[in-house]
Structure 1
Amino acid sequence: MSELLRISQRDDETPSQSRARIALTPECLSAAVLVTCKTFDETPVTDVVEELMRQTAAINSGDMTRAENMLLAQAHTLDGLFAKLAGQALVANHLDKMDNFLRLALKAQNQSRATLQTLAELKAPKQIAFVKQANIGNQVQVNNGTQEKPARTRKTKKTQNKLLGVEHGERLDTRAAGSAGGADSEMAALGKKHRTAKPCR
């Protein structure tokens, strides 16, 4: 292939660099496969590469005719393959052969459908809508710009819980006489002589 391929060398590259650059182009890689598959008899590889480059340039300029024709031809080929495999499944004399042929036929049918779907999307691309965010509400604030760091809350020193006037580490004396309540200040705590002999549990 390299003997038939004509390579144009740039001023800033060596011959090996120019060969590597050309050999790695999509058109050259595709031409290598096409020539290996015996698609062309004695056609020079350079002519195949140049034709692929012309088709690539057409697509880059917005002409999708070649791609559309290719997809339609492939869909027809896959449809013919589906019909061939389905026919072989119908005349198969063993259940395993019928199952294998039907599986392959349905795969070809699915690929034909996917190819036609790709062609339809190529002909009529889906419209992508870019919608700006709208926030409507009562007392709602949305900041889509730069976010400021929230102000730190000042740490407050934890105060000790002085429940019933007992300091930390002291035991609460439940037998001590309490003061009169605020609801009925005339009521006083019972004296020692009025208490029961046995404490209630």
Structure 2
Amino acid sequence: MTIKKKIPSNKAQRAKTSKEKENNQGHKIKEKNREQLLAEFGLMPTCGNALAAQAFLKSSVGDPGFIETHAAMSKSVKKVVAGETKIVEATLIAQAITLDKVFVDLIRRAAANIGQHERAMETYMKLALKAQSQCRTTLQTLAEIKNPRPVAFVKQANIAHGHQQVNNGNITSRAENFEKNSNELLKANHGERLDPRTTGATSSLDTNLETMETVDGTAKR
């Protein structure tokens, strides 16, 4: 008894090849989407700050984990973006209280070194004043958030009468106009230039003036 093997047709082979290509393309698309999502997540402002906050939280409250830290930070950010400033005010007032305590501790250390260790006293005093300055700045920022300054929009009133001319030309054009006007002043009627050698016309303002006599200065010596 002979057993005949089924030979796959060309149509079945093409279908199998096409399905494999679709699967490969699907894997590539998924991999590309995964890389894009990782890039977008890594560039989010909350991502890097959550990592930094997690590092500092380890020494105070323990390691809460990155996922929990990022979720809590994102929640606070969404509230502030939505217009809720309570968390901002709470953060500023808490920081101001902390800075005030830093100032008190440093100023106490400076006072303890007066007359004994002058350099240590100066160092503690400078650090205390820096903490005090930062505390004042923090409180000032908090005050501006709670009581924003009014913004006044002032319109310029134009009270001049008649026609106005605004010259926005450059210096070169002004110099050319000045030179042109100067040349026009040197011209006489009918486009002729003035001749300094000719006698000017008699003016009609005062016709009663007489010719003055010749004075000999040597005769009166």
Give CA deviations for 1:102-149 in whole Å, capped at 9, x if unaligned: 111011001001000000001111111112111335x366689xx898
Identity %: 30
Choose between structure 1 and 2: higher helix proportion.
Answer: 2
TM-score, with normalisation over the residues of structure 1?
0.66
Mapped pair 1:164 → 2:197: yes
Query: Which residue of 158, 175, 194 maps to 1:135?
Result: 158
Q: Measure how far apart 1:48 and its partner are.
A: 1.4
Q: Which amino acid aligns with 1:14?
A: N
Mapped pair 1:115 → 2:148: no
Counterpart for residue 6 of structure 2:
none
Q: Measure how far apart 1:16 and its partner are.
A: 2.3
Identify if the C-alpha distance between structure 1 residues 58 and 12 changes in structure 2 by more than 3 Å, giving closer, same or farther.
farther
Mapped pair 1:26 → 2:45: yes
Identify if the C-alpha distance between structure 1 residues 25 and 134 changes in structure 2 by more than 3 Å, giving closer, same or farther.
same
Counterpart for residue 4 of structure 2:
none
TM-score, with normalisation over the residues of structure 2?
0.61
- Structure 1: stretches of 5+ with no match in the other structure: 1-9, 167-181, 191-195, 197-201
Counterpart for residue 190 of structure 2:
none
Counterparts of 1:33-182 in structure 2 under 5 Å?
A: 33-37=52-56, 38=58, 41-92=62-113, 93-137=116-160, 139=161, 155=180, 158-159=186-187, 160-165=193-198
1:11 and 1:122 mapped to 2: Cα distance? 46
Does the 8 Å contact 2:54/2:63 carry over to 1?
Answer: no
Identify if the C-alpha distance between structure 1 residues 13 and 71 changes in structure 2 by more than 3 Å, giving closer, same or farther.
farther
Identify if the C-alpha distance between structure 1 residues 46 and 141 changes in structure 2 by more than 3 Å, giving closer, same or farther.
farther
CA RMSD of aligned residues (A): 3.6
Counterparts of 1:187-198 in structure 2 under 5 Å?
A: none
